[in-house]
Amino acid sequence: MAISAAMVKELRERTGLGMMECKKALKEAGGDIDKAIEDLRKNSGLKAAKKASRTAAEGKVRVVATEGGVVAVEVNSETDFAAGDANFAAFADTVAAKLAETKETDVAKLTEGELEEAREALVQKIGENVTVRRAFVVEGATVGSYLHSNGKIAAIVELIGGDSELAKDIAMHVTAVNPRVCRPEDMPEEELKKEEEIIKAQPDMAGKPAEIVEKMMGGRIKKFLKENSLLEQPFVKNPEQTIAQLAKEAGAEVVSFVRIEVGEGIEVEEVDFAAEVAAQLNG
């Protein structure tokens, strides 16, 4: 029986296992997904599948300089303790090395084959879910990066002109200050509308004439854009100059930046372990 991509996708979603392992299991089960799951329960895939549903919001970022740019990857674990494990570190390094070699930012493609087998083996060894969440490739005329000492926050900056040290300085600023956009005009319309709603709801806006509200709104939106746009922000190493001024003095122009922080955007379920244990004892 022909094994379709949809069948493989469904099995991956139900088990959390790799594409190649799921495809192999489906072939051996004659395309029967339920039988494939039963078969997987008889081998080492079971433990990895059980862990796949757990939220992995800790981890590390790996950054590698390449010819013509920089690559970065976020590898997650369930706990910070596991992220400090030597085996986890070795796996993260291997993923980063493959990303540097292939420049493949599709995580499923990046990790298929041997890397997926290594991930599953690591899950077995450390007893936690491990995922490769995101991969970035930045290439350009001048590219620099900065990785925070905790290994959890990194930034990559692309310039026209300047040098890698300038790009690294600006990347360090990005990790510390966390700008939302590069320049004011880059701010998404929905973000501006959300900020306008917040401003309008502030107590000092109540009862004021519409024209006054609009004038105050304009000033506060301008301030919001200045505070959240990289080029408008005071440089952390010298607050007397903005990032735009820093770049201009060096004969450079900031093209773009990427900031990666471990676990950002992941919703972590709060678990009351005492209540969970009590429920098990009473059950």
DSSP code, position 149: T
- Describe the chain by its helix, strand, coil percentages, rounded to 5: 50, 20, 30
Percent pLDDT > 90 in the chain is: 64
Give backbone dihedrals phi and psi of 191, rounded to 5 degrees, phi first: -70, -40
Per-residue pLDDT at 16 exceeds 90: no
Report the pLDDT averaged over residues 260-267.
88
What average pLDDT does range 249-277 have in this prediction? 80
Q: Output 36 or 245, whichever has higher pLDDT.
A: 245
Distance of CA 86 to the CA centre of its chain: 21
pLDDT of residue 273: 46
pLDDT of residue 217: 85
> In the predicted model, is pLDDT for residue 283 greater than 90?
no
Assign 265 a pLDDT band (cuts: 50, 70, 90): confident
- State the pLDDT at residue 39: 79
Residue 274 pLDDT: 59
Question: Angle formed by the axes of helices 5-15 and 33-40, to 10°?
Answer: 40
pLDDT in tens, 210-237: 888 888 888 999 999 999 999 999 999 9
Report the SS3 class of residue 131: strand
Q: How many CA atoms lie within 13 A of 137 on its CB side?
A: 16
pTM recorded for the entire structure: 0.75
Q: Which of 95-104, 127-136, 263-272 has the lowest mean pLDDT?
A: 263-272
pLDDT digits (tens, 9 = 90+) for 42-72: 665 445 555 555 677 899 999 999 999 999 9
How far is Cα 93 from Cα 60, in angstroms, rounded to an integer?
10
What's the mean pLDDT when you consider all of the chain?
A: 88
| Domains of the chain with CATH codes | 5-51 (1.10.8.10), 58-177+256-261 (3.30.479.20), 184-245 (no CATH)
- Report how far residue 282's alpha carbon sits from residue 262's, in angstroms, rounded to the nearest whole number: 37
H/E element, 22:
helix 19-28
